[in-house]
Structure 1
Amino acid sequence: MLSLSDLPDLPAVPDTVKTTLSFAWTAYIAILAVWIVLQKRSPLSTLSWILSMAWLPVLGFGVYYFFGPQRMRRQRIKRIRSHANLYAKSDFANLRTLSDHAPQHLQQMGLLGHATCDIPVSTASDVRLLVGGAQTYNALFEAIRAARHHVHLEYYIFEPDKIGTALRDLLVEKARQGVKVRLLVDALGSKRLGKRFFAPLEAAGAGVGLFHDSRIGRRLRPVINFRTHRKIVVCDGEVGFTGGLNITDEEDERTRPDAYHDVHLRLEGNAVRWLQMVFMEDWVYATGERKRRTAEDFDKLLRPTVVGEHAVQIVASGPDSAYEAIHRMVLAAINGAVRRVWIATPYFVPGSPTLMALTSAALRGVDVRVMVPMRSDSRIVSAAARSYFDELIEAGAKVWEYEARMLHSKTMVFDDDCGVVGTANFDNRSFRLNYEICAFVYGPTLTVPLGAQFERDLRKSVRVEADRHLPAWQKLFDATARLFSPLL
């Protein structure tokens, strides 16, 4: 039997090679450290990334390359905004601001939203809460059928199933009637769509765009981690939709009794102009159509419409901005609430700022309620969410798990003054990494129906108790899942 002493000696590594490798290693770490430091993360996060790539160079670099960067430089959009005059200042006089009689913190929120995403408080002549797939899809199809000039759609998930095919066929019909149809879908979320599905649309003259094409050979780094999670539909610049529902049978209770439970929002009036603006920015960015159009064409699409009585602020955020507009608005709303903060979300993974805001609100006597699904479609996210329940409950907040179906609603109610419906989940990915959009409706217009719906959902939920007894393995799994919160 051979022993180690019987093995031949390995050739000595020349000093020049050692020096070269040492220099290359030092340069590698220095360059990566500069790259990571310039991302301006928290000190602990920055140090963790640097150490991970120093000790696991190949794996660490690969993970950071795809998932580490938090911001995108989308300077093209800024140039397009300026050239196309999307923010025609002369139109601001037609936009309503919050009344001087509105609570001071709401006025401050309006200013904050304007400062962080360049969208002021506007108005809507009609605000309608849509509950479930049947209501939402019926209203959506009705608005599209009535469109005369254009139909713009942007979705994270668009499936080639029953509802998706029906909507595709309706869009083909409208395009053949001369209505300008533009459909923008996220390349990853709608990965099941192929050329065969799009062919009838393109043959009818409709425009189809993929947001951050994730196919091999494309620019991979930004497309992996930065997705458009927005759901926007605009018909003739007069009727708009946004909210939690994608285009999929999984959200249509007419097709599936166990469909996701979700809500959407239908708007009419001037606020739709800002849904249009966000869509056009994303469309131009994804397709480059601006090169083939004039600024005047964009101005026509963004013309002011009916001034209504409901104060609405469209808030958009994404990795192309360092302001985290939706995140800041949610924090401002929680900190300004004096009576209630009711949150329904499918994915609850709060960061330190939002967790502290919620617990602080509960400690000062605000009625803080958080509703999440009992059976989530993401086991790791559900586990991470459970790891935060004790902190909330100990501070006086109440947590419910919706057990009827998979809860997919993304709604918030703050006092009787502000109701929110949008695409953002209550997690790091929505607040920092995804392109998201929410409608903040000031006054009782939305808080009344949202509050009533929240209470109806409570009757189908189970309250999480502070003294619940979880097995040791469950506690360990939940705590481990929490470690991945920044990526969830």
Structure 2
Amino acid sequence: MTDAFLALCDSVQAQPHLWTLLVAGWLAYLVGLGVWIVLQKREPAATLAWLISLAALPYLGFVIYYVFGPQRIRRQRLRRGRARARMPARPETAEDSEAAELARLAQATTHLPPTTATDVRLLVDGGATYDALLAAVREARESIHVAYYIFEPDRTGTALRDALVERARAGVKVRLLLDAVGSAKLRRRFLAPLVEAGGEFAWFHPMRLPWRRPWLNLRLHRKIVVVDDRIAFTGGINVTDEQDERLREDAYHDLHLRLEGDVAALLQVVFAEDWVYATGQRPPLRAPRASTPGCVGTQVLVSGPDSSWEPIHRLHVAAIYAARRRVWLATPYFVPGEAAMMALTSAALAGLDVRLLVPKQADSRLVTYATRSSFDELLEAGVQVHEYGPRLLHTKALLVDDETAIIGSANFDHRSFRLNFEVSLLFRDAGVAASLEAVLDADLARAPRVRPDRRRPFWRQRLPEALARLLSPLL
């Protein structure tokens, strides 16, 4: 390798025109790639990070950006489908002004109206989630629609597959949509029994042909199950033994939701949009059934690269700015942009009870370093930072004051806010907020606080954290 490099240098010195060609080619590469990146009109920090990183990788940088760089997806025809499936909006009241403001913002950015739930249950960890999910699936009479980022062919995945197969044989319409990267371990032979029983299956963003730009960096991170248009599940828990504490001591610690009521119909709309996008088939929707509005006000929040408004990001920031007493945030990935960081530190500087709960060690060391690079600023502003362990915290939840809660699949980072297809639920309900408070309070009690005077060796912590912070816009 060294001899070849020296030979190339000698050749360039012997023929000066080769050096001119190399420089001209490199400059043309920089200009072309730079114009392409700048025209994406992303956040300046992210744009600069891409430009600096790829300038150091002549030609190879083009391939990296082509595969992993920002991409926009246009699904206007699917948004029009949403309008046809809208549910009646929940009436606003005089004392509900803050909720109405958040609802208007959510509806303007997602094109989904406010709705209600008749029952909301918080499911802590995989054991409770899988038991409730399997019970609902086994009682299905008409349809089961399932979308997951990770679906593993292990004990947990096999149990759910077998339950879906049994219902499909009984005449229930079963549709399963899986992300092609997150569920890459799954093979078609594992799903053959479901297809043979009459179920339908599709991949979301499978790898494309070599001459077409791949969607490798744009993943379906949603977890949605809708049973008979009336019971729905969503949250942070995938289908894998790694999230069942009954099977593994190191299982992820996570939070999921079981819902009943009109909200299930809107989650059905979200599934249908993804299904028709992935398959080209008509959305599996029926006209909404007449029902009595529930007592729990909620809003379905969706975001992804098909929307430039970053709805889940905006609603997090707006909810934090609306806080009057406290802001509690739990997330496995904390890599905020300027807007989110400003909201959190402003709340703390204003004297609110602001607490951040993150894993002691994320499943990516780079993300761990990037997360910790924000600790000094947070601590200085008055934010209480807690690190949860030894199990990996996978909960994604925001609690504001005593009535507002956001729970779902979205992490508090650039990827979830901009690149992944995510779904979260915004609740304006004292009961849901109290349930979430109990969960977070128990987790915070098990998570030691990060101290401002903590020991931070230069080579093992301070320098890696600083370097990771530079790359945070790309994470």
Query: Does 2:319 align with 1:333?
Result: yes
> What is the DSSP-based 3-state SS (H/G/I as helix, E as strand, rest coil) of the residue aligned with 1:463?
coil
Deviations 1:419-475 (A, max 9, x none): 111001111111111110001110212110100111111221111111111111221
* Structure-1 separation of matches of 2:11 and 2:209: 45
Aligned to 1:451: 437
Give unmatched runs, 5+ long, in structure 1: none
Residue 95 of structure 2: aligned partner = 101
When residues 142 and 198 of structure 1 are mapped into structure 2, their CA distance, relative to the original with a 3 A threshold, is same
One-letter amino acid matched to 2:174: V
**Is 2:391 the partner of 1:397?**
no
Amino acid at match of 1:481: A
Q: Does 1:203 align with 2:196?
A: yes
Q: Which runs of structure 2 are paired with 1:10-49 in the superposition (5 Å)? A: 28-49=29-50
Cα distance in 2 for partners of 1:9, 1:169 equals 65
Matched, 1:227 2:219: yes
Deviation of the 1:354 alpha carbon: 0.8
How far residue 406 of structure 1 moved from its aligned partner, in angstroms, is 1.2
User: Compared with structure 1, are the counterparts of its residues 360 and 131 closer, same or farther at alpha carbon in structure 2 (3 Å cutoff)?
Assistant: same
Q: Is the 8 A contact 2:49 2:474 kept in 1?
A: no
Q: Secondary structure at the match of 1:272?
A: helix
Per the alignment, do residues 8 and 88 of structure 1 end up closer, same or farther by CA in structure 2, a change over 3 Å counting? Answer: closer
For residue 94 of structure 2, what is the amino acid of its counterpart?
A: D
1:123 equivalent in structure 2: 116
Deviation at residue 106 of structure 1 after TM alignment = 2.3
- 1:347 & 1:427 partners in 2: Cα distance? 6
Q: Among 410, 419, 427, which residue is 2:396 paired with?
A: 410
Indicate the percent of aligned positions where both proteins have the same amino acid: 51
Equivalent residue, structure 2, for 1:274: 266
Equivalent positions of 1:155-166 (< 5 A) are 155-166=148-159
| Residue 476 (str. 1) matches residue 470 (str. 2) | no
- For residue 168 of structure 1, what is the aligned residue in structure 2? 161
Q: Distance in 2 between matches of 1:10 and 1:25?
A: 18
Query: SS at 1:421's partner residue?
Result: strand
30 and 485 in structure 1: CA distance in 2 versus 1, 3 angstrom threshold: closer
Question: Where do 1:84-99 residues align within 5 Å?
Answer: 85-88=81-84, 92=87, 94-99=88-93
Q: Would you say the 8 A contact 2:50–2:474 is kept in 1?
A: no
Contact preservation (8 Å) 2:12, 2:19: no
Q: By how many angstroms is 1:375 displaced? A: 2.9
Question: So what's the TM-score if we normalise by structure 1?
Answer: 0.90
- Cα distance, 1:478 vs. partner? 1.7
Distance in structure 2 (CA, Å) of the matches to 1:181 and 1:9: 64
Quote the residue 1:133 is aligned against: 126
TM-superposed deviation, 1:13: 6.8
Report the AA paired with residue 140 of structure 1: L
Quick one: which amino acid aligns to residue 72 of structure 1? Answer: R
Q: Whole-Å Cα distance in 1 between the matches of residues 430 and 84 of structure 2?
A: 30
Q: Which residue of 2 aligns with 1:237?
A: 229
SS for the counterpart of 1:369 is: strand
**2:378 pairs with 1:380:** no
Cα distance in 2 for partners of 1:420, 1:210 equals 28
Q: CA contact under 8 A between 1:98 and 1:110: conserved in structure 2?
A: no
Question: How much has 1:198 moved relative to structure 2?
Answer: 1.2
Question: What amino acid is the match of 2:238?
Answer: N
**Structure 2 counterpart of 1:79, which letter?**
R
Counterparts of 1:56 and 1:113, CA distance in 2? 40
Match of 2:187 among 173, 179, 194: 194
Number of residue pairs aligned between Structure 1 and Structure 2: 466
One-letter amino acid of the structure 2 residue matched with residue 157 of structure 1: I
* CA distance, structure 2, for counterparts of residue 358 and residue 33 of structure 1: 33
* Structure 2 letter corresponding to 1:144: V
Unaligned runs of 5+ in 2: 1-6
Are the structure 2 counterparts of residues 286 and 182 from structure 1 closer, same or farther at C-alpha, using a change threshold of 3 Å?
same
- Displacement after TM superposition at 1:190 (Å): 0.4
**DSSP 3-state at the match of 1:256:** coil
Deviation at 1:383, TM superposition (A): 1.6
Q: Deviations over 1:300-339 (max 9, x none)?
A: 4x55644211100010000111000000000000111010
Give the deviation of 1:171 after TM superposition: 0.4
Q: Does the CA contact (< 8 Å) of 2:29 and 2:59 recur in 1?
A: no
Aligned to 2:73: 73
Give runs of aligned pairs for residues 358-369 of structure 1, distance below 5 A: 358-369=344-355
The one-letter code matched in structure 1 to 2:172 is V
Which deviates more, 465-474 or 50-59?
50-59
Are the equivalent residues in 2 in contact too, given 1:98–1:121 (CA < 8 A)?
no
Q: Structure 1 CA distance, aligned partners of 2:209 and 2:411?
A: 29
Q: 1:358 to 1:47 in 2, by over 3 A?
A: closer
TM-score (norm 2): 0.92
CA distance in 2, matches of 1:65, 1:225: 10
Tell me the alpha carbon deviations over residues 33-83 of structure 1, each in whole angstroms, 9 at most, x when there is no partner: 3322220023454355445545532122122112222x4232xx322443x
CA distance in 1, matches of 2:39, 2:12: 46
1: distance between equivalents of 2:349 and 2:454? 21
